[in-house]
């Protein structure tokens, strides 16, 4: 198959892990007889430095002409001044909103080889395999707000429409159908009107998916259940802010932020794929970055935007094999375990594909 992939490395360790991912995808293309064209664009801090904008129009145009976007991460101390007129993170929000990427998929799973290094008891972490589906373009991050000023009063508004909840609930129910057929919807329906609409709508959408078991949790309870019974969850659907917080909480289950991939999707096959981690300025440029979150994001791109399930699984299996063989980057190396560089870990995955 022929596909054009927009590549936006961004800042910090972004270019380091993105470079390894395009290399891996080229290897997949050669092995399976595909033709992937990579077109590179600017986003984030480097885009501000070179053009003055975190998401230059040329980058938007390049993404519009592509089948999917592969992104590293944006931001860093150089652009961290909160009073600056433009921030790198704005580029990411604009990109998600421009393309209407309303469903953010974040899988979190534990690897048998790593459970002993995680901060939770190993017996709690056995068989954890959760897919978070977070609403991404509405809710409190996009509601009416009192812009920052020097006053003593400010507000943000959490609002949802029935359509917005329906579309993300449909993605979550369909995902559950393809997995273990359990969906947990997280809200705060006991206090917030927008969350009562959320729960009502999810219950209505459930009527079309009677093979899926539906559970509701209030967000405060969900934070505890995630740590006390993580293995019992299959798919979790939540609004923008609650999904953001809970999926970050769940990232500790996997042992390192560097392990986690994400996909941001809309109703057609177009999507944005990026690791969950940021630009890790503390380790940038040292060859220490864990490329797994980036690699698994590339696998999601193959699966959701290009429909190449076998190729996606080949990457996932190669990552599993490399970990089982004892290969570790520094962030996941336990006491006494030798860590390998980003490049060596990537080569080990590539050779196993
Ligand atoms: P971070 O994810 O960059 O780093 C948190 C910690 O995890 C650091 O100690 C880092 O070294 C480690 N880490 C992260 N990814 C890793 C990897 N692949 N391999 C090994 N270790 C890894 O979060 P932060 O430090 O809070 O933020 C740093 C910058 O990144 C900030 O400017 C922030 O705004 C930005 N950020 C961007 C995104 C994004 O682009 N999606 C997400 C989060 C943070």
CA-to-CA distance for 326 and 334, rounded, in angstroms? Answer: 11
Note whether 1-103+261-353 and 118-146+153-254 share their fold. Answer: yes
136 in ligand 1 pocket by Cβ < 6 Å?
A: no
* Interval 284-301 mean pLDDT: 98
- C-alpha to C-alpha distance for 103 and 265, rounded to whole angstroms: 5
Pairing of strands 261-265, 271-275: antiparallel
- Check pocket membership of 290 for ligand 1, CB cut-off 6 A: yes
List all residues 6 or more positions away from 241 whose beta carbon is below 8 Å from its beta carbon: 139, 140, 141, 158
**Pairing status of strand 68-73 against strand 271-275:** parallel
Q: What is the pLDDT of residues 317-351, one digit of tens each?
A: 999 999 999 999 999 998 888 999 999 999 999 99
156 is catalytic: no
Domain ranges of the chain: 1-103+261-353, 118-146+153-254
Atom of ligand 1 nearest to the CA of 77: 32
pLDDT band at 115 (very low <50, low <70, confident <90, very high): confident
Give residue 49 CA to ligand 1 midpoint distance, Å: 20
Using DSSP, state whether 223 is helix, strand or coil. helix
Cross-strand partners of 131: 107, 235
Asked if residue 167 has its Cβ within 6 Å of ligand 1, the reply is: no
Our mutation pick for probing the ligand 1 site, out of 279, 290, 333, counting the most ligand atoms within 8 A of Cβ, is: 279
Residues with Cβ within 8 Å of residue 93, at least 6 apart in sequence: 141
pLDDT at 134 over 80: yes
- Please report the pLDDT score of residue 149 as a whole number: 63
- Shortest CA distance to 137 belongs to which of 267, 27, 47? 267
- Given this model, what pLDDT does residue 153 score? 85
CATH class for domain 1-103+261-353?
alpha beta
Rounded Cα gap, residues 352 and 350, in angstroms: 5
Does 267 have pLDDT greater than 80? yes
Rg of the chain over all Cα atoms, to the nearest angstrom: 20
What is the rounded distance in angstroms from the CA atom of residue 140 to the CA atom of residue 159? Answer: 7
Helices (H), the chain: 14-32, 45-51, 57-64, 88-98, 122-125, 162-177, 193-206, 219-228, 240-251, 292-300, 309-324, 342-352
Residue 147 CB burial class (10 angstroms; 0-12, 13-18, ≥19): exposed
| For ligand 1, atom 4: residue with the closest CA | 280
Answer positive or negative: Cα dihedral of 11, 12, 17, 20.
positive
Q: What are phi and psi of 109, to 5 degrees?
A: -135, 160
pLDDT band at 148 (very low <50, low <70, confident <90, very high): low
The question of whether 111 is a catalytic residue gets the answer no
Domain 118-146+153-254 CATH class label: alpha beta
Q: What's the chain's average pLDDT?
A: 95
């Amino acid at each position: 198959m022929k596909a054009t992939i927009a590549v936006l490395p961004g800042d910090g360790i972004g270019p380091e892990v993105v470079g390894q991912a395009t290399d891996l995808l080229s290897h997949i293309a050669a092995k399976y007889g595909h033709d992937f064209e990579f077109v590179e664009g600017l986003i984030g801090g480097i885009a501000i430095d070179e053009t003055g904008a975190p998401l230059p129009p040329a980058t938007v145009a390049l993404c519009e002409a592509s089948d999917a976007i592969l992104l590293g991460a944006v931001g860093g101390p150089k652009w961290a001044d909160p009073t600056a007129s433009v921030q790198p993170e704005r580029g990411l929000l604009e990109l998600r909103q421009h393309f209407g990427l309303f469903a953010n998929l974040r899988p979190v799973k534990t690897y048998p080889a790593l459970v002993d290094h995680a901060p939770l008891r190993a017996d709690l972490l056995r068989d954890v395999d959760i897919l978070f589906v977070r609403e991404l373009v509405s809710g409190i991050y996009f509601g009416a707000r009192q812009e920052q000023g020097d006053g003593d009063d400010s507000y943000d508004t959490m609002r949802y429409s029935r359509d917005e909840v329906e579309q993300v609930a449909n993605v979550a129910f369909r995902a559950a159908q393809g997995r273990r057929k359990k969906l947990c919807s997280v809200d705060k329906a006991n206090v917030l009107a927008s969350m009562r609409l959320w729960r009502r709508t999810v219950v209505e959408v459930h009527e079309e998916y009677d093979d899926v078991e539906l559970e509701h949790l209030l967000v405060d309870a969900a934070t505890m259940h995630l740590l006390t019974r993580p293995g019992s969850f299959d798919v979790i659907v939540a609004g923008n802010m609650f999904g953001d917080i809970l999926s970050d909480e769940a990232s500790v289950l996997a042992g390192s932020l560097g392990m986690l991939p994400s996909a941001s999707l809309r109703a057609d096959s177009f999507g944005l794929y990026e690791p969950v981690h940021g630009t890790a300025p503390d380790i940038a440029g040292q060859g220490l970055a864990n490329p797994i979150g980036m690699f698994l994001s590339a696998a999601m791109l193959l699966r959701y935007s290009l429909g190449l399930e076998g190729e996606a699984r080949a990457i996932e299996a190669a990552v599993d094999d490399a970990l089982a063989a004892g290969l570790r980057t520094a962030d996941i190396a336990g006491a006494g375990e030798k860590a390998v560089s980003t490049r060596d870990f990537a080569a080990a995955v590539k050779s196993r594909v």
